[in-house]
């Protein structure tokens, strides 16, 4: 699986598979928030998404 930067997921999603489509925050201006400091916004290339979908299909 391809993951870039920090992955944030609520506890009730702990058993679910994750598929990363974007990373970072495209807004990044909320003064109270440091969730994605140092992580530029990025959209995953379709090739990574397709590889991850194939891996999820195989393993889940």
Which residues of this chain interact with ligand SF4, rule CB under 6 A?
A: 25, 27-28, 30, 33, 35-36
CB 52 within 8 A of CB 19: yes
- For residues 1 and 28, which CB has a smaller minimum distance to ligand SF4 in the complex? 28
Q: From the CB of 59, what's the least distance to ligand SF4, in Å?
A: 29
Q: Which residues contact 39 (CB under 8 A, 6 or more apart)?
A: 4, 5, 6, 23, 24, 25
The radius of gyration computed from the CA coordinates of the chain, to the nearest angstrom, equals 13
- For residues 6 and 53, which CB has a smaller minimum distance to ligand SF4 in the complex? 6
- For residues 33 and 53, which CB has a smaller minimum distance to ligand SF4 in the complex? 33
């Amino acid at each position: 699986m391809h993951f870039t930067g920090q992955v944030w997921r609520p506890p009730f999603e702990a058993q679910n598979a994750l598929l990363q489509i974007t990373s970072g925050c495209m807004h990044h201006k909320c003064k109270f928030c440091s969730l994605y400091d140092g992580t530029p916004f990025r959209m995953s290339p379709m090739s990574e998404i397709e590889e991850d979908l194939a891996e999820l299909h195989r393993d889940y």
